[in-house]
Homo-oligomer: A and B are copies of this chain.
Amino acid sequence: MKDKTFLMIPGPTPVPERVLLEIAKHPIGHRSSEFSKILESVYTDLKYVFQTKNDVIVYTASGTGAMDAALSNLINEGDKVLSLVIGNFSRRLAKIAKGLGADVEIIEAEAGNAINPDILKERLDKDVNKEIKIVTLIQNETSTGVTNDVKTLVSLIKEHGALSVVDGVTSVGAIECKMDDWGIDVLITGSQKGLMIPPGLSFLAASEKAWKVHEQCKHPDFYFNWTTNRKSVRENSTAFTPAVNLFCGLKVALEMMKEEGIENIIARHTKIASALRVAIKALGLKLFVTDEKYASNSITAILPPEGISVPDIRKVLKKDYDIEVANGQNELKDKIFRMGTLGYVSERDVITAVGALEAALYKLGYKFELGAGIAALIKELNK
């Protein structure tokens, strides 16, 4: 049906009605006192979501903009950077670092796996001269539905003394991420994920230690410059004309998040994604993640049953049930499909998704006990 598409991709994600209505209003002046009040509220609430005392810079840019901003404000040519790669998005950080002239070393886990903390520890222990300046990592790898144990990894990086730069695009506001408690140095995220607004904004917070490294950074950055942007944050302003309407929506979305409480939000994501995984397995399908303890609570990557193709599953879900799920990326294209349970997601949504998935598999001739997925899902949700 027209205009009925329901997104279960890893972003954009569904946006609450009251946020959309806020975005639909006529833009207001970005240098007005009204807008300054909105910014004050947004900047305060972002600290709550990031669980940090550091200022949170908001860029009018997509998540990749914040990834670029994170590294281009820290790296000088020749700097040694260690990149922990478990898929496309964590690899992007390595690419950006390399582009900036860093000497990039990669520790890579095969797709479907998380980084083994022991391997990181071993590498860092070997770096007796403390040559590694920055370690880049991702909390939740959107391309594979795998979540790194960021708490442990960051504690190892902290012990070594390098800076940790963490991509939290599909984790902040969905998966536990305590910037200050865990000692993350740079944390970024995007707007169209855990923060429940459309794409167009991205976010960056940095520790005092990272700010000191930034001061030594020679790479010129105008639009993404940390110093210019933080100065404006502290004045409840923005360095450059912001996406006013998205900020107005963000204010409301953050208020909703505070009302629900970050622990409750994370518990909701955990419950829904765990139940989805139980349902997927009850349908006889396989999860792509190799060890379920690293399974993502915001994105679930699923292998299609034998004889049924990913494009067919996606097509039927889209055409007959108006549900959009994501394909795999690059070498995983047509090998997995990915369901997002991220942001403004409820138990009803996952019931819808599993029900429609059963219907699609049924139509495509897959042999299974019809209703088994929903049954397992409901039981798990009500444990």
The residue in chain B whose Cβ has the minimal distance to the Cβ of A248 is B198
Task: Give A1-37 as 1s and 0s: 1 = Cβ < 8 Å from B's Cβ atoms.
Answer: 0010101010111110000110111111111101000
Stretch at the interface among A60-68, A104-112, A175-183: A60-68
Contacts A12-B29, A199-B27 given; does A65 touch B240 at CB 8 Å: yes
Q: Which residue of B27, B59, B198, B220 is within 8 Å of A245 (Cβ)? A: B198
Q: Is the CB of A62 within 8 A of B241?
A: yes
Inter-chain CA distance A62–B68, complex, in Å, is 16
Query: Within residues 337 to 375 of chain A, which ones have a CB less than 8 A from any CB in chain B?
Result: none
Q: Is the CB of A198 within 8 A of B243?
A: yes
Q: Which residue of B5, B100, B198 is within 8 Å of A244 (Cβ)? A: B198
Q: Is the CB of B241 within 8 A of A60?
A: no
Query: Within residues 223 to 269 of chain A, which ones have a CB less than 8 A from any CB in chain B?
Result: 223-224, 239-246
Cβ of A95 under 8 Å from chain B: yes
State the Cβ distance, A144 to closest chain B Cβ, in Å: 17
Cβ of A192 under 8 Å from chain B: yes
Cβ of A324 under 8 Å from chain B: yes
List B contacts of A69 (CB < 8 A).
223
Tally of chain A residues near chain B (CB < 8 A): 58
List B contacts of A305 (CB < 8 A).
none
State the Cβ distance, A138 to closest chain B Cβ, in Å: 16
Cβ of A284 under 8 Å from chain B: no
List B contacts of A34 (CB < 8 A).
5
State the Cβ distance, A339 to closest chain B Cβ, in Å: 13
Q: Which residue of B62, B239, B241 is within 8 Å of A11 (Cβ)? A: B241
Cβ of A200 under 8 Å from chain B: yes
Inter-chain CA distance A381–B68, complex, in Å, is 49
Cβ of A101 under 8 Å from chain B: yes
List B contacts of A190 (CB < 8 A).
241
Q: Is the CB of A243 within 8 A of B21?
A: no
Task: Give A163-206 as 1s and 0s: 1 = Cβ < 8 Å from B's Cβ atoms.
Answer: 00000000000000000000000000010100000111000000
The residue in chain B whose Cβ has the minimal distance to the Cβ of A92 is B222
State the Cβ distance, A91 to closest chain B Cβ, in Å: 13
Pick 26 A–B contacts, CB within 8 A, sort by A: A5-B26, A5-B29, A7-B29, A12-B244, A23-B24, A24-B24, A27-B199, A59-B61, A60-B61, A60-B62, A61-B223, A63-B240, A64-B222, A65-B240, A67-B223, A69-B223, A72-B222, A95-B222, A96-B222, A198-B243, A198-B245, A199-B242, A199-B244, A200-B200, A200-B245, A200-B246
